[in-house]
Amino acid sequence: MATRVDLANAIRALSMDAVQKANSGHPGAPMGMAEIAEVVWNHNLSHNPTNPQWANRDRFVLSNGHGSMLIYSLLHLTGYDVSIDDIKTFRQLHSKCAGHPEYSYAPGVETTTGPLGQGIANGVGFAMAEKLLASQFNKPGHDIVDHYTYVFLGDGCMMEGVSHEACALAGTWGLGKLMAFWDDNGISIDGHIEGWYTDDTAKRFEAYGWHVQSVDGHDVAAIQAAVDAAKKVTDKPSLICCKTIIGKGSPNKSGSHDCHGSALGDAEVAATRANIGWNHEPFVIPADVYAGWDAKAKGAAAESAWNAKFDAYAKAFPAEAAEFKRRMSNELPANWKEATTKMIADFNEKAEGVASRKASQNVIGALAPILPEFLGGSADLTGSNLTSTGSFVHVEGKKPGNYISYGVREFGMAAIMNGMALHGGLLPFGGTFHMFSDYMKNGMRMSALMKQRVVYVLTHDSIGQGEDGPTHQPVENTSGLRYIPRMTVWRPADATETAVAWVAAVENTSGPTSLVLSRQNLPGIKHDAAQIDLIRKGGYVFSDVAGKADVIIIANGSELDLAIKAAAELNAAGTKVRVVSMPSTNVFDAQDQAYKDSVLTPGVKRVAVEAAHPDFWRKYVGLEGAVVGIDTFGESAPGGVLMKHFGFTVENVVKTVKSVL
């Protein structure tokens, strides 16, 4: 029968063998955290390898994602669909075992980690989702949402600012089901960290409101005792500081950065085998070690017990049970199509001239009763982003709700929302000024990389922002977001386009959506039914002329009105102008070529108008067309003054059109 030392050494052996075969990777963290992993995965983690999507499983996050062989070893050993042949392809093209854990590649990987600090922030999102769903669905005697989130993290995660943002909130929210294990090995890529990381981490987390313990990270009894103590503290997240030796087992490289980010080398691998008493060939795991790790039977029993609890819940609360299943499956309500079609028609009929941020708030208010999974929020700009509505219950400290004030923590907000979306059962959206999407850009990129339905509400979308000046005025940001694969960007020109954009965002289950919205009021526009359907295609002919147009003006957002007025002046003077509204270039680009050609007729000169960097629009206007845009930083003045100053006037649009004819 395998001992616990044998079980931990299996992780060390698989990790160093895989890294050595790839001649690339990070063996140090998996080898140093082997005992911690054995305690968590073999004695505490509630999971079912044969059903990685079981709703009430504990979530595990490897925030120090460079140590990916740790999670691949655990998935393989416990019985997930990660074979020894998969392990042998570590870091190779199309392998389940990518260089860093990638969501949807290997079953059991809950989130993509690699950019340090985001994993622990995702973990905060997982734990918050558990708490909020428990408050929404659990009934006396029926705790159907009841699971932990376990996070492994290293010194690098502790240094990254996003971990501070998220962990401070975790303490404020009292996330008692969140347990983090800090791999305190004192080593990063550059060597011993005393020269750049001297924080008193334990005191810092205590100040955040966490329950903090310190243990020997190689003492399994001490680690388990700390876990047991942490579980008794139900109103605080827990940090277990685990003093470890990086690369433990390696006789010549452990305790140094030499084993952090490179293979040990054949000679050191052989020496490590001898040192830990692992007398087996590479990638060979003895049967008794497999038996000691196998979690399939225990996992099936745990899920079966939960299924029985859920059946009892469903008998007592059938409507709630059905709703829970719907939400965890990311299915829209049965009345979605009917309700949203009517909502869009109502907005169109009213044709209210308001800022698109205000139109967005009106849409949120209309959607909230339809979507109980809605979880709103803002990074300290609720009154400016207009992301709340009267029906929302605001989270206040440890009190649950469905609207979150994240504080001035844009990056933390994005990473936490990713964790919530990954957990399932919630549809998170969060607001900030568009300019500050730069602060959370990597979190937004991770939403797209993982194909998560997260909605970013980005207001004050241009120099029209006004008096706050160039620090607050986005110029390049909209184009930058459009370039993120799988990120859908909408910049609507009126209330109806805003409603369509929101509906599209909710229906988009294959990636995130950014709604780029104005501070300033936009004209109310009434569309016919055919045009409403065409808005959903991302770009459409707003107004046309008889016969072939001489020029096409493409615009969106607040600049559509400029295009309309310029076209009227040009048409009156005999120049035939088609106006195209393009609220979403991403959606338009996904249409078939016939439709795109029907909107942007080949061979017709084009001018694009957007209060943003012009270079993006060259793909539509070509070298013979022109763009009315802005390629400098803005200024501080009222928005209308700035628009005129930088050439966003009817006169300049007309002049620009004439210049291409």
Q: Which residues are catalytic?
A: 410
Question: Residue 7, SS3?
Answer: helix
3-state secondary structure of 639: helix
Structure tokens at 117: 């600090």
The phi, psi pair for 345, rounded to 5°, reads: -60, -40
Report helix, strand or coil for 193.
Answer: helix
Residues 6+ apart with CB under 8 A from 271: 250, 251, 252
From residue 556, give the alpha-carbon distance in Å to each of 210, 461, 522, 563, 626. 47, 12, 11, 9, 15
Rg (CA), the chain: 27
Among left, alpha and beta (phi > 0; psi -120 to 50; other), residue 581 is beta
Phi-psi region for residue 397, left (φ > 0), alpha (ψ -120 to 50) or beta?
A: left
**By C-alpha distance, which of 272, 275, 218 is closest to 244?**
218
* Torsion angle defined by CA atoms of residues 467, 470, 471 and 473, in that order, rounded to the nearest 10 degrees: 80
**Close Cβ partners of 8 (under 8 Å, ≥ 6 residues apart):** 34, 35, 37, 38, 220
Kindly give the pairing relationship between strand 238-243 and strand 374-378. unpaired
555-570: buried (b, 16+ CB within 10 Å) or exposed (e) per residue?
Answer: bbbbbbbbbbbbbeeb
- Beta pairing, strands 513-516 & 540-543: unpaired
How far is residue 8's CA from residue 245's CA, in Å, rounded to a whole number? Answer: 14
| Half-sphere exposure of residue 207: CA atoms within 13 angstroms, side-chain side | 7
Task: Name the token pair of 238.
Answer: 């827990």
- Helix 495-507 with 336-350: angle, nearest 10 deg: 160
Look at residues 462, 506, 44, 76 and name the one whose alpha carbon lies nearest to residue 231: 44
CA 185 to chain centroid: 29
- What single-letter amino acid sits at 529? A
- 124 contacts: CB under 8 Å, gap ≥ 6: 166, 167, 169, 170, 175, 178, 237, 415, 416, 419
Q: Determine which helix (DSSP H) or strand (DSSP E) holds 153, and give its type and residue range.
A: strand 149-154
Neighbours of 527 (CB within 10 A): 22
Record the tokens describing residue 426, joined without a space: 């919630």
